[in-house]
Chains A and B, each alone.
Chain A
Amino acid sequence: MNAAAPIYGLVLAGGASRRMHTDKAALQYDGQSQLQRAFTLLSKLCEKTFISVRKDQTGDAARAAFPQIVDIHEDIGPLAGIHAAQTQHPHAAWLIMACDLPFVDEGTLRYLSAQRDPSRAATAFRSTHDDLPEPLCAIWEPLSAAAVRNWIANNQKCPRKFLINADVTLLTQPQANALDNVNTPDEHLQALRAMNKNPIKLHVQYFALFREQAGKRNESMETVATSPALLYAELKQRYGFRLEMNQLKVAINNEFSDWHASLQTNDHVAFIPPVAGG
């Protein structure tokens, strides 16, 4: 029998992130982008590691510095990344990991590769939520490549459905919810809380509708929110604010700011509802 194929790593970071209102790949944990974090993690276990990108993303700032594999198919989601990787390096097995899995650590991935069965199409974890295979933190063997190609040729897109129908080794996650992903500012905030981040102290000002709904003009608070986007998700929950982030502007220290600026202790933050001067 031949030796098992070498494992290459592929970070999936092509998603549009509509609900996060930002490029997911650039979300920060510990001052590091998720993309960087995932890439570093895979690099520890894999012979070579790449990031998966769409054609239009090859030059963007968050991605340009990494070795890339460019999608061949458009608009079919994560399976395009897996297919492109298998096409470019057909001899390799691919450890695929979505960049939005902040709870996946080195232990999780070492367990996955230790349990790997190269004679099957893939080795994957069972979802904690529904026991179905989790395709985006899994090892895809070279022998799955032909079937992936056919799957796409038949206009199928869903990598999970693919694994449900394939010969796959399914593992129980060594740590419950290790594969929970982060799609919204709320989930990002929960992830930061679960990681026991040190809180920072902020001063928040409330105006107009927010002042009335919060019942105060200002407050000082401790939070693990590292950006205005995360802070708003927290306050929205606390006070039942109904305005959505994309209807607002935000100011840090009395100047307009980006929603994903990094907040520092003692910053003054104000959320600006739709204005109506004149």
Chain B
Amino acid sequence: MKPFSFSAIAIDCASLQNELRDMRAGGFASFEGWVRNHNEGHDVIKLEYEAFEALGIKEGERIVTEAINKFGVLRAACVHRVGELQIGDVAVWVGVSAVHRGEAFDACRYIIDAVKHRVPIWKKEHYVNGDSGWVNCEHCAAAGDALEQEHAHHHHR
């Protein structure tokens, strides 16, 4: 299986787990990110994920390779959803098989944390009240406006 991929259809966690089976493995750790019904005080009804897939696959593969080398695990993989997701859907799956449990947990944690920070994926939340917004972007844009105004004061020396 590919170390990192995007999926436009529901993630089948059981069959992904099967692909990481290894006779040398003494354990398997996985992480599933689920769509929850609220975020930062808003009631969420559904999500949309959009990815820059060409770059996202490369960066995702780099992350999985880093985790395998850093923690010495046997196999690892990650699948991330794109498209429209409902409450309770699996948004991201990470699986790691390893000789011992410690490195399996560590590698799993490393992969999900790095994927959240580095892979170009964007999440749009749709709220019960009809609003929607790109997570991490709309706040930043507001901060950007404030920065711009501050800069305007010393535009020319």
A-chain residues with CB within 8 Å of residue B92 when the two chains form the complex: 277-278
Distance of A28 Cα from B33 Cα, bound (Å): 45
| Bound Cα distance A243, B49 (Å) | 20
A74 at the interface (CB under 8 A from B): no
Chain A residues with CB under 8 Å of B124's CB are 208
The chain B residue sitting closest to A19, CB to CB, is B151
Q: Which residues of B contact A208 (CB under 8 A)?
A: 50, 122, 124, 134, 137
Residue contact A251 to B55, C-beta cutoff 8 Å: yes
Given that A19-B151, A255-B58, A274-B136 are known contacts, is A243 also in contact with B144, CB under 8 Å in the complex?
yes
A249 to B118, CA, bound (A): 10
Residue pair A183, B155 in contact (C-beta under 8 Å): yes
Interchain CA distance A183-B91 in the complex, whole Å: 44
Q: Are A277 and B123 in contact (CB under 8 A)?
A: yes
Main secondary structure of the interface of A (DSSP, over half): loop
The 5 closest A-B pairs by CB, nearest first: A277-B121, A208-B122, A242-B141, A278-B116, A274-B136
Binding site for B on A (CB under 8 A): 19, 129, 181, 183-184, 205, 207-209, 211, 242-244, 247, 249, 251, 254-256, 270, 272-278
Determine if B52 and A207 form an interchain contact, defined as CB atoms under 8 angstroms apart. yes
- Offer 29 A-B interface pairs, CB within 8 angstroms, sorted by A: A207-B50, A207-B120, A207-B122, A209-B134, A209-B137, A209-B138, A243-B137, A244-B143, A244-B147, A244-B148, A247-B143, A247-B144, A249-B120, A251-B52, A251-B120, A254-B54, A254-B55, A255-B55, A270-B52, A272-B120, A273-B137, A274-B136, A274-B137, A275-B122, A276-B137, A277-B115, A277-B116, A277-B119, A277-B123
- With both beta carbons as reference points, the residue of chain A lying nearest to B53 in the complex is identified as A254
Task: Contact check, B80 vs A277: say whether CB atoms are below 8 A apart.
Answer: yes
Q: Which of A205, A211, A244 gathers most chain B CB within 10 Å?
A: A244
Counting CB contacts under 8 A, is B8 at the interface? no
Chain A residue at minimum C-beta to C-beta distance from B139:
A274
Q: Which residues of B contact A274 (CB under 8 A)?
A: 136-137, 140
B2 at interface by CB-CB < 8 Å: no
- Beyond A247-B144, A276-B122, whether A129 also contacts B134 by CB under 8 A is no
- Is B24 interfacial (CB-CB < 8 Å)? no
Q: A256-B55, A272-B52, A276-B134 are known contacts. Are A181 and B157 too (CB-CB below 8 A)?
A: yes
In the complex, the chain B residue whose C-beta lies closest to that of A136 is B157
Question: A135 to nearest B CB, angstroms?
Answer: 10
Q: Are A270 and B55 in contact (CB under 8 A)?
A: yes
Say if the beta carbon of B112 comes within 8 Å of chain A: yes
In angstroms, how far is the closest chain A Cβ from the Cβ of B124? 7
Would you call B145 an interface residue if the criterion is a C-beta within 8 Å of the partner chain's C-beta atoms? Answer: yes
Cβ of B24 to closest chain A Cβ, rounded Å: 29
Q: Which residues of B contact A129 (CB under 8 A)?
A: 156
Collect the chain A residues with CB atoms within 8 Å of residue B51's CB.
207, 277
- Report how far A211 CA is from B134 CA in the complex, Å: 11
Q: How far is the CB of A239 from chain B (nearest CB, A)?
A: 12
- Contacts A242-B141, A275-B117, A278-B33 hold; do A209 and B52 have CB atoms under 8 A apart? no
- Residue from A184, A208, A277 with most neighbouring chain B CB atoms (10 Å): A277
Identify the closest chain B residue to A211 (Cβ): B50
Question: B residues within 8 A CB of A19?
Answer: 151
Which residues does chain A contribute within 8 Å of B120, judged by CB atoms? 207, 249, 251, 272, 275
B135 at interface by CB-CB < 8 Å: yes
Residues from chain B with Cβ under 8 Å of A251 in the complex: 52, 55, 120
Chain A residues lying within 8 Å of B145, measured Cβ to Cβ, are 242
